[in-house]
């Protein structure tokens, strides 16, 4: 019960900060453009505190679920000179995009701060098995990898997050440095089709190794499809005993597209689940460990760029059809992830991810999101005709209805997956 309450508090803090920062972006832009702001509220529901200052009512309300910025003339028309509807296209767009901009700024600041608070895994090799594919290609311990297929790499995470889904090649060209000299080699079979089922594992108490107990089941993954759940302990895979996540992944990765049997312990009962792992293209140089260094500005920027590209890439994959609706997570899924954060850095990193994700979602050209409003503003500027208030209201209602429907579907999928 205490864990549940703590999770709710964490979730409220994250959503409250992310939403308030978004609304503050709109507020600040409106003030810069001398547009009237009738009220700026932190929270919803009954008011706790209220104060008027220079034409704006500042309110603190009891439900910490975000807030709102009531801009004069943003919804409908207004005769006031300082109304949003009476400003030019550039001022309108500036006000509309500043919410998203502030979400992005919050994410960038947190990403940089979190990165500076930890050490960074570099691309300098610390341990390498003699029979690994990298060793066979001539790479040695102490070498620093500088580029993969011509793309510069500076941190270890870039060696593990290569986009290879659209590549038919199995080999990669690796550039590296040794004693100040530059070398180039081809690592064969660095890209392989492997099996995966969409799960993450709990770590042991000292955080040194991932166990064979499932922590999170990804929406839309094979594990979710075949009924595996968070908390399941995987005892065997195809009859092979497993003691940690590595044991589970090894057998799973070798069986893409083939049905395999998972023997699991759930609530004291041992049951079996037959699962067909999905196939994906994975990049792996078979490097055991890399050296860790103090984080500098260059490392921080690279880590931040990687986080941003990963989040934006997930939206790109959604519109390209690589991510289905049943693979998306809503507020319940977010709450599940929040419950697994055990440290302050993990908590803030998750806040940054959600802030950026909310920002990207809000700029999509879909009413009633900010991006949809930008499209309407641009359309009115091109046609030099104001969209009838009734038509704009209907469009907003339709868009809002579709968003509610999507939220219900995603939330239902989250609940079914967790339960």
DSSP string, 46-97: EEEEEEEETTEEEEEEEEEEEEEEEETTSSS---STT-GGGS-HHHHHHHHH
What average pLDDT does the structure give for the chain?
83
| Average pLDDT score over residue span 119-144 | 89
The pLDDT value given to residue 167: 61
Domains in the chain with CATH codes = 2-116+354-418 (no CATH), 120-193+281-294 (2.30.42.10), 198-276 (2.30.42.10)
Does the structure show a pLDDT above 80 at 63?
yes
The pLDDT value given to residue 320: 66
The pLDDT value given to residue 60: 92
The pLDDT value given to residue 341: 65
Distance of alpha carbon 373 from alpha carbon 355, whole angstroms? 20
The pLDDT value given to residue 419: 55
Does the structure show a pLDDT above 60 at 332?
no
Write out pLDDT tens, residues 215-233: 878 777 788 888 888 888 9
Name which of 62, 69, 56, 57 is nearest 21 in CA terms. Answer: 69
Write out pLDDT tens, residues 187-201: 998 888 888 888 888
The pLDDT value given to residue 306: 80
The pLDDT value given to residue 359: 87
| Average pLDDT score over residue span 316-326 | 63
Distance of alpha carbon 171 from alpha carbon 185, whole angstroms? 10
Contacts of 32 (CB under 8 A, 6+ apart): 94
The CA-atom distances, in angstroms, between 178 and each of 18, 139, 142, 184 are: 45, 9, 7, 11
Does the structure show a pLDDT above 60 at 163?
no
The pLDDT value given to residue 179: 92
Around Cβ 238, how many Cβ atoms within 10 Å? 14
Q: Is 253 helix (H, G, I), strand (E, B) or coil?
A: helix
pLDDT-derived band at 244 (thresholds 50, 70, 90) equals: confident
Distance of alpha carbon 239 from alpha carbon 261, whole angstroms? 8
The pLDDT value given to residue 121: 85
Write out pLDDT tens, residues 352-387: 888 888 888 888 888 778 998 899 889 888 888 887
Write out pLDDT tens, residues 26-60: 999 999 999 999 999 998 888 899 999 988 999 99
pLDDT-derived band at 98 (thresholds 50, 70, 90) equals: very high
The pLDDT value given to residue 51: 92
CA end-to-end distance (rounded Å), the chain = 17
pTM above the 0.95 mark? no
Find the length of the chain: 419
Strand partners of residue 152: 147
The pLDDT value given to residue 418: 55
């Amino acid at each position: 019960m205490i864990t549940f309450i703590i999770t709710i508090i964490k979730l409220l803090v994250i959503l409250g900060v992310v939403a308030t920062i978004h609304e503050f972006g709109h507020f600040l832009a409106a003030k810069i453009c001398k547009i009237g702001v009738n009220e700026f509220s932190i929270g919803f529901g009954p008011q706790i505190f209220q104060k008027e200052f220079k034409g704006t009512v500042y309110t603190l309300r009891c439900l910490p679920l975000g807030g709102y910025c009531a801009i004069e003339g943003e919804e409908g028309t207004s005769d006031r000179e300082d109304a949003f509807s009476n400003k030019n296209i550039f001022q309108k767009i500036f006000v509309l995009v500043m919410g998203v901009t502030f979400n992005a700024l919050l994410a960038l600041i947190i990403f940089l701060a979190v990165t500076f608070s930890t050490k960074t895994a570099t691309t300098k090799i610390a341990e390498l098995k003699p029979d690994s594919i990298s060793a066979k290609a001539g790479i040695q311990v102490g070498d620093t990898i500088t580029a993969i297929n011509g793309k510069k790499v500076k941190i270890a995470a870039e060696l593990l997050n290569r986009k290879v889904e659209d590549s038919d090649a199995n080999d990669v060209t690796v550039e590296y440095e040794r004693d100040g000299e530059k070398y180039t080699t081809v690592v064969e079979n660095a890209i392989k089709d492997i099996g995966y089922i969409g799960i993450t594992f709990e770590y042991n108490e000292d955080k040194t190794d991932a166990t064979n107990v499932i922590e999170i089941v990804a929406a839309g993954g094979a594990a979710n499809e075949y009924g595996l759940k968070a908390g399941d302990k995987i005892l065997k895979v195809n009859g092979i005993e497993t003691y940690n996540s590595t044991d589970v992944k090894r057998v799973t990765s070798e069986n893409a597209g083939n049905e395999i049997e998972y023997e699991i312990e759930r609530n004291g009962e041992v049951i079996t689940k037959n699962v067909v792992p999905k196939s994906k293209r994975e990049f792996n140089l078979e490097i055991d460990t890399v050296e860790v260094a103090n984080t500098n500005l260059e490392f921080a920027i690279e880590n931040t760029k990687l986080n941003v590209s990963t989040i934006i890439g997930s939206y790109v994959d959604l519109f390209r059809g690589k991510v289905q609706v049943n693979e998306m997570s809503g507020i319940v899924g977010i709450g599940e992830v929040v419950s697994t954060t055990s440290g302050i850095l993990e908590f803030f990193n998750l806040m940054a991810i959600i802030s950026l994700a909310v920002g990207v979602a809000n700029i999509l050209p879909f009413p009633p999101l900010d991006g949809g409003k930008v499209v309407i503003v641009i359309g009115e500027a091109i046609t030099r005709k104001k969209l009838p208030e009734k038509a704009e209201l209907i469009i907003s209602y339709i868009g809002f209805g579709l968003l509610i429907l999507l939220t219900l579907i995603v939330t239902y999928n989250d609940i079914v997956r967790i339960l």
